[in-house]
Structure 1
């Protein structure tokens, strides 16, 4: 019998249902994911809010915390939100409330806070029992019309109360204040923008619904962060981000050079990128200083009070301020990237990545819907009032009879309704009138109100019948709002500016991050590399592992690039600052770069961008390559000379002069003009000398005017002039003649 899904019984286990674990997990996880997406992490495109913010705003309205009223304790607001609308921890609600009040987090704060609400250094706000809050003007704009049936209400979590499912949102909050959140499987990140620019773009969109994102970007130039800063992206990438709804913006700190007198200067940073904690930024820079990663910088000080003022002191007055800042931008958060991912709840239901145009369009559609709903609500109010006024008019004209009926009849209401053909509402209104209202009950007053309301009713009916009039009204509303948040107002001024990132040579910036020190690079026969401090001329002091010995050593600076050429025809590049120190025996080259096991080091030298190199293989093929073409940016190196086994790369010499002398293992020498060797960036090269057997042994480039020189084993130098070399001078790829008398036994030029 197969295994039963039901556990062994202990009495009545009829109610146990077997459940497929995979299916159950999928269902539950999906439910959790959807709940996070819909009710926690993603903002609604219409009012730019997540549920917690919407509930805070709604609760503050109910507590009547208007901008012109007094403040209330935050603990009271949080209690109201938690008790009625938001069944989550009080700390998470308070954190959300604090953020709405921070002028360095929100471009247009929705909460006016009193007390300690944290600061840009990342310090926390005071506890909610100490702080107080009320709404700002922007918040009242978002709530405008909420009592006039502008939006749908839904039951709260315990169904005792009602909460708005979205706010009327007369302010373009989604883009003006931005939003960021991480849901399950999706995230959102929207930077803050300038409200006046958004409203201008919205007006353009009303006039021309077919306007492209490129047209809108004429107004909405880019994000406008509350902390200022400079955006250093080009217009094309900004446009691309707004068209697709995905991208990012590089934001740099704003700085200027401040003269200290006598030729000295400091750099003062006055604005830092959005979302960066100042104290953390300075801590990280100080750590880099201690680690000697910022050789151009002497000191960093925070002299901020109300405004930001971070002072950077250069190592010396000769430092280029641009380069110093570039090195800081590269290594610290003085430059940061703010991602754009406009993933929002479109129409309040569907998570969707929207373009700038779609986001504005959905906000405008919402404004139109709110306008229609408020107009209908007002229409209903007017109709009810007109009905009552008509009843009052009848009562006024027959006041004595009305009083008689009320005094004498047991049930005055049906009698009145029958007598003057009144509706239930009218009769009820007459019966509910106070005696003191009789004094005011003048026909003139009633008729005046009646006519006024009739006129308003006509206007609203015309508005509801005409889409053009609706858009005209919305344009008027947006125009009013733009005046209040225009660029000439204190809150409406653009804070973030735009600039091109200055062009600096990458190698200059790289060098600016390395402390310049003299070192000696040592390469052993078995391929171990290290760099000892100082320029050491006595090579006999170097120690090696057993069985290993010195291959060659040369002086360099820590800012240099070291080029390594291998028998496989590959070049590798290693920064001299990255080489292991001289304490031990160093490290094998194969750990530092990805070099094949069957290859060996031919030579290593300091990179000099102005030179050209002559590469030659064992079989005598070669070509000239500019040194800038052999620098490799990755561990894999760069294949420059193509060699097939058993051939291998044998020599790499700097090109000097106009002729080359080549010697084969057969001791035959050939001299030929360098002009016959082609210049290439990669390849096999051309034949330089012909051999019956064996291969190339040594090679030298020289200027014919100076003659060809070599050294023998006793370190004596021999030089042969052009006339003396006549019989060896030939064309490239000939066999050559036996070496001249006095040539070293080793067959090398020394």
Structure 2
């Protein structure tokens, strides 16, 4: 039987099938995994984890339980996913450097700010924190809806009846399909101020509530350097970012010495990675104002940075570090959350607070109705008990003599089945006068409570007053005066963003001679005009370039690949050894060094390749800011850049390996910023040998052994650029080089 004949096979367009299934996956990811709910600020995995801990009675006053037990309950009853994902969630909720108000009290190794992983779940223990219980308070009073678990064997809450805005207090992050959320943590005291103001002024605007919410409050502290207007703009749109810097202080010693101590780092920056980053910059000599860095952290962060000299300003050192490292980082804000209607939406700060207040109104209303229903049930029972005590003899007679006492009680005293059952359940010892008095007192008390609760439902002002009281209670419990509630992140106005500091101003200017060998070993020696006859090189190596410059000056290195690299004179290895490989300083990609010349601003340089092409470049355009260098001359295949020389005079002399010399005016060579250049000399089966610029009034000179030869009559070789040229004068070097 063919597929077409099979009645169980349905022909569906492949594109439509993929679209339908991917849409289902996307919705599942958005709704049930990645985005938090605006009302309780939790994702399903968080909600199920905390509910499982509540069922295990792991409240703050109880003992700890193994995390493996908690994770087992979560994945067995509520969340059918991997244990690693659930345990990672538990660990994060217990880290005081990840959550502003940790929801889990962990015992054992739960990781560190260095990025260390937590111990295995069989070694760690956990229980809920006090603030966590506020998320689930009144959960048993019909405040939220429950739904069946994945296997229909139990129920779980759809939401938590959160008493505080957990979404903003602890923040949240998540990546869904086509959307993401990123919410930094905030100070709970400030959030409560904003909520109380919003209750008192329902028509308040974003600007009104932002008078109370200054900005994020990170668990790791730090300093926010954005302006008030920038922060407000991010909250008003629901999208933006905050620049956060590490906190530091200067520790002074005698004789003007000091060290810089970093005490707080930006949120979600790993301390170990940060130190490695600074140490790498130190090794690459990109921060020469620093001599050493060490980590003296214990329970608190203490990163010590030692300056190179007492004359270096600590502010300038830190500005350089802020620019080059994660000591200044950007924390993003994207208030993309699930609204109360279950739709993903980017909200502003006012909408988030309004959603929470409306949620609290619904919680209080449902709780009040539940309490009224329970009181009604109890009053019904108490009414039956009062009837029984007033007619105790008759009740005893009915119970002793009648075959169906419940039915007889119901017809005799006009009570329902539940009331009759409560009479029948009275113990003999309860038939005392004192018990009757207690029942009457309880009845009166419950009637008063019932009246008060009914007033809450009937009078919205009383309802809002109750919500406001609950928020004020939480605010007092986690006020700015408490250790947990105190603001940790402060604000500082920075006029300009961190700039790259000109470190040459802080380096002592000394004359140096840079020596580079043919194999690429480079070093420097102090002084100019040195006797270098005694310089030794590695076996098989010899001198290639000798450049006199200063420690505060830069040196340009041109490679055969057409790239230029820039190195500060102070960064060359010093001493009488072989130095260090040039490949450790710049990424020269195995290409030979064509020339090393001191950088002079505005100097003209002539570049030429083996194909006989070349152009003039301004030295300012050749300066590279990174170790990777800057590509100036475009070469391909077997072509190589072979000449990089300073332009002096008004003429250019070019000679090829075919021993043809050509002389033409320098103004025939264009000035470019990058490219292949123009043809300097035409070849058939030859390559460019050498290029030299000179003054026509002085003549063309070249070295011949230890002597110099000068040719003033150059008209015989004079032609237009791109010509073939003629045989050079007799006595011209056989290696076709001017020097």
TM-score normalised to the size of structure 1? 0.71
Provide Cα deviations, 1:598-630, integer angstroms capped at 9, x if missing partner: 99537546999xxxxxxxxxxxxxxxxxxxxxx
Tell me the CA shift for residue 441 of structure 1.
6.3
- Match of residue 19 from structure 2: 26
Q: 2:323–2:499: 8 Å Cα contact kept in structure 1?
A: no
Q: 2:509–2:550: 8 Å Cα contact kept in structure 1?
A: no
Please give the residue correspondences for 1:657-676 in structure 2 after superposition, counting only pairs within 5 Å. Answer: none
Tell me the CA shift for residue 449 of structure 1.
1.1
Secondary structure, in 3 states, of the residue corresponding to 1:247? strand
- Match of residue 365 from structure 2: 372
- Match of residue 68 from structure 1: 61
Taking the aligned partners of 2:187 and 2:493, their CA distance within structure 1 comes to 20
- Match of residue 404 from structure 2: 411
CA RMSD of aligned residues (A): 4.0
Provide Cα deviations, 1:549-607, integer angstroms capped at 9, x if missing partner: xxxx9978776699xxxxxxxxxx997769998952269x99x9xxxxx9953754699
Q: 1:143–1:168: 8 Å Cα contact kept in structure 2?
A: yes
- Match of residue 452 from structure 2: 459
Taking the aligned partners of 1:295 and 1:302, their CA distance within structure 2 comes to 19
- Match of residue 253 from structure 1: 246
- Match of residue 130 from structure 1: 123
Tell me the CA shift for residue 501 of structure 1.
2.6
Provide Cα deviations, 1:675-712, integer angstroms capped at 9, x if missing partner: xxxxxxxxxxxxxxxxxxxxxxxxxxxxxxxxxxx997
Q: Which runs of 5+ in 2 are unaligned?
A: 515-521, 531-546, 557-563, 569-584, 597-603, 608-612, 624-629, 633-646, 649-664, 666-694, 700-739
Taking the aligned partners of 1:274 and 1:349, their CA distance within structure 2 comes to 30
- Match of residue 121 from structure 1: 114
1:44 and 2:37 correspond:
yes
Tell me the CA shift for residue 262 of structure 1.
2.2
- Match of residue 273 from structure 1: 266
- Match of residue 202 from structure 1: 195
Provide Cα deviations, 1:176-200, integer angstroms capped at 9, x if missing partner: 1111111111111111110000000
1:219 and 2:228 correspond:
no
- Match of residue 353 from structure 1: 346
Please give the residue correspondences for 1:273-292 in structure 2 after superposition, counting only pairs within 5 Å. Answer: 273-292=266-285
Taking the aligned partners of 1:423 and 1:28, their CA distance within structure 2 comes to 55
Secondary structure, in 3 states, of the residue corresponding to 1:133? strand
- Match of residue 161 from structure 1: 154
Secondary structure, in 3 states, of the residue corresponding to 2:160? coil
Q: 1:379–1:457: 8 Å Cα contact kept in structure 2?
A: yes
Taking the aligned partners of 1:100 and 1:86, their CA distance within structure 2 comes to 17
Secondary structure, in 3 states, of the residue corresponding to 1:506? coil
Q: 2:365–2:457: 8 Å Cα contact kept in structure 1?
A: yes
Tell me the CA shift for residue 537 of structure 1.
9.9
Tell me the CA shift for residue 134 of structure 1.
0.9
Taking the aligned partners of 1:284 and 1:171, their CA distance within structure 2 comes to 39
Provide Cα deviations, 1:135-187, integer angstroms capped at 9, x if missing partner: 11101111110000010101111111000010000021110111111111111
Taking the aligned partners of 1:635 and 1:368, their CA distance within structure 2 comes to 65
Tell me the CA shift for residue 314 of structure 1.
1.0
Q: 1:296–1:512: 8 Å Cα contact kept in structure 2?
A: no
TM-score normalised to the size of structure 2? 0.72
Please give the residue correspondences for 1:169-568 in structure 2 after superposition, counting only pairs within 5 Å. Answer: 169-347=162-340, 349-439=342-432, 442-501=435-494, 503=496, 506=499, 508=501
1:99 and 2:114 correspond:
no
- Match of residue 81 from structure 2: 88
Provide Cα deviations, 1:370-420, integer angstroms capped at 9, x if missing partner: 000000000000111111111111100011111111111111111111111
Taking the aligned partners of 2:121 and 2:192, their CA distance within structure 1 comes to 35
Provide Cα deviations, 1:518-560, integer angstroms capped at 9, x if missing partner: 8999xxxxxxxxx99899999xxxxxxxxxxxxxx99787766
Please give the residue correspondences for 1:519-668 in structure 2 after superposition, counting only pairs within 5 Å. Answer: 584-585=593-594, 600-601=615-616, 603-604=618-619
- Match of residue 541 from structure 1: none
Taking the aligned partners of 2:335 and 2:507, their CA distance within structure 1 comes to 40
Secondary structure, in 3 states, of the residue corresponding to 2:182? strand
Tell me the CA shift for residue 247 of structure 1.
0.6
Tell me the CA shift for residue 439 of structure 1.
2.7
Q: 1:196–1:492: 8 Å Cα contact kept in structure 2?
A: yes
Tell me the CA shift for residue 221 of structure 1.
0.5
Provide Cα deviations, 1:210-263, integer angstroms capped at 9, x if missing partner: 222222222110111111111111111100011011111111110011113222
Secondary structure, in 3 states, of the residue corresponding to 2:261? strand
Tell me the CA shift for residue 512 of structure 1.
8.5
